[in-house]
Amino acid sequence: MSMMSNSNKISRREFNSKLGKIGAGLIAASVLPSFGTLAQNNPHEGKFIDVHHHLGSDLMTDSANFTFDPIIKWMNKNSVSQTVLLSPIQYPETYYPTRAGNIIRNDELLEKFQETNGRLLPFCLVHYDAFSTTKEIVKVLKRFKKKGVIGFGELKPRDTSGNSGNIPLDDPRMKRIYAACAEVDFPVLFHIDNKHAVDIPGLPAMEKVLKEFPNVNFIGHANGWWNSITSDVKELKGYPKGKISPGGAAVKLLENYPNMYADLSANSGLNAITRDPEFGTKFLVDFSDKLMFGTDAIGGTGRESHFDFYNKIDLPEEVKDKIFRNNTRKLLKI
């Protein structure tokens, strides 16, 4: 599409500011009529960027009937300007079957992302047993990056048959992935718990990885990460309640490592912020440069609780701007 190829030569933001909001709207509406609701919003307007959303197999019926519409409608309703889709692009691609059992080829899906005018942005996954060298992973990631993929994750390790791996976060097979992400400049978003990207209370494996890969930005997520907001963490699963004790591993890692970030998505993220409201608010302010709004919704459904909470929260405006949008823009260069 001619507009996309022009806009690729300069950044999307430059492109939009060059055109001006009205011009961009007119061009989007006239050149891209098939976008429907997409064309009504400039990709850089809106209160939130959702850094953690899944496609779900319901939308992936087959390429002819495929639509992002439910997600776009959900975004427009909730003032979400851009949404990061986790793991729609996978290697090998046979892993992610559609509801009807069909496969949407990565290339086809990437084209559909391109048509969203930057409102939907894909991350990718390479399964940990797909390759035995970093070099091979780099090759695949470079190809994905050229076609619009902007990060790696959700890294909830699986093998090429789709089985969950029980893989330690600092396993050599995981390190190959981090090394490849360092080479292509992809952030890595983790699902940390007791049976996926596995760590133990205190998050020693996470800390080792942060030290070993200082050039990779890591994004913590899920129960293992968020339960570690308190120093008296017992298990890296479940949704513990009650007062938070200072010095939790997640707090220390955010404090001590410039390459550690976290997304606020899912019940685990909301539980961590709300279980001790006074601590939660202070945590958001203290780490306002490291935290990113996210939902973990699937195909434009679920997680209304995140909007209920963050639309009402009392925080300085600049903290909200950073957490709701700007940190994600900066980290993902969007």
Interface contacts to Zn ion, rule CB under 5 A? 154, 296
Question: Cβ closer to Zn ion: 39 or 55?
Answer: 55
Question: Cβ closer to Zn ion: 50 or 296?
Answer: 296
Shortest distance in whole angstroms from residue 165 CB to Zn ion: 16
Question: Cβ closer to Zn ion: 138 or 155?
Answer: 155
C-alpha 71/C-alpha 300 separation (Å) is: 4
The residue number whose beta carbon is nearest to Zn ion equals: 296
Residue 278's Cβ-count burial label (10 Å; 0-12, 13-18, 19+) is exposed
Question: Cβ closer to Zn ion: 56 or 244?
Answer: 56
Shortest distance in whole angstroms from residue 2 CB to Zn ion: 35
Q: With contact defined as beta carbons under 8 Å apart, do 52 and 263 qualify?
A: yes
Closest CA to 179 of 155, 212, 142: 212
Shortest distance in whole angstroms from residue 172 CB to Zn ion: 25
Sign for the CA dihedral angle at 304, 308, 309, 315 comes to positive
Question: Cβ closer to Zn ion: 171 or 263?
Answer: 263
Shortest distance in whole angstroms from residue 154 CB to Zn ion: 5
Residue 164 in 3-state DSSP?
strand
Q: Residue 315: how many CB atoms within 10 A of its CB?
A: 16
131 residue type, one letter = F
Shortest distance in whole angstroms from residue 125 CB to Zn ion: 12
Name the token pair of 183: 């080479």
Question: Cβ closer to Zn ion: 156 or 325?
Answer: 156
Question: Locate tokens 């061009």: which residue?
Answer: 27
Question: Cβ closer to Zn ion: 202 or 302?
Answer: 302
CA torsion 191→43→48→240, rounded to 10°? -10
Q: With contact defined as beta carbons under 8 Å apart, do 86 and 153 qualify?
A: yes
Q: How far is CA 160 from CA 137, 144, 235, 303, in A?
A: 14, 18, 28, 29
Shortest distance in whole angstroms from residue 265 CB to Zn ion: 7
Shortest distance in whole angstroms from residue 215 CB to Zn ion: 24
